[in-house]
Structures are given as C-alpha cells and as structure tokens.
Amino acid sequence: MSKLVFSQPLINVLYLPYLMSENKTWEVLTEPWMEGALASLISLNLIIGIMLMAKRMLLLEASGASVGFGVQSVTQTVGRQRVVFSGGEWREVPGTPKMQMYIAILTLIVATIVLACRNTMAKV
C-alpha cells in the first residue's frame, strides 16, 4: 500500500518534465522569473497550510478531521478572495454578484467560528 501512495506523487512530478520536453516549452521557466517565484511561494504556502492543518487536527482530537479540514478550506478561500478583491478583479462587477460574494465570505467566516467553538463546547 505504501508503494502505491508514493507512486502517485512521483507520477505527478515526472509528468511535468515529460510534457515540457514533448512540447519544447522549457524556456517558460526562465523567462519571467517573478512568475516562478510567485508559484513557488504559493506552493510553499499550501504546504505549510497542510502541515498546520494536520497539527490542528491533532489538537482538536475527535472532531479534528472535519473541523481541521473545514478551517483550512475556509482560510484558503477567504485568502484567495482577499487577493482577488485587492487586485481589483471585482471592481467592475455589478452589485448583485459582488454582494453575494461578500455574503458567502461572511458565511464562511461565521461557519469557521462555529466549527472552532463546537469542540470547546463539547468539552464543557
């Protein structure tokens, strides 16, 4: 079983060089160095987030998996939307979709607070 678990990431890692060799697109990695730096930073952020999620799951004990994954998902979603809003992508969107996005973000934040408080209330 452990060989199977290790083989999937290995296939994903080896497929990229194969595909870039087939399409002869290696120069994409050297042209805009800032793009590569940002992609590496995003990847590092995701890795750290997953490591922290695992720690949260252990600290939250019985309900840790559902709560930990929920908190991680909400954190990433709200973080992405914060970047999108600050980058101005939503500037020209009309009122209703923008209001729905605000309501969705607020709902995610409230749900995260409820999930986080659930375990605390269960111990009382």
**pLDDT tier, 20 (very low <50, low <70, confident <90, very high otherwise):** confident
Please tell me the pTM assigned to this model: 0.46
Query: How much is the pLDDT for 79?
Result: 78
Question: Among candidates 52, 64, 57, which has minimal Cα distance to 122?
Answer: 64
Q: Say if CB 116 and CB 75 are below 8 A apart.
A: no
Domain ranges within the chain, ordered by starting residue: 32-123
Query: For a pLDDT cut of 90, what percent of the chain falls above it?
Result: 0
Say how many CA atoms lie within 13 Å of 2 toward its Cβ.
0
Residue type, 4: L
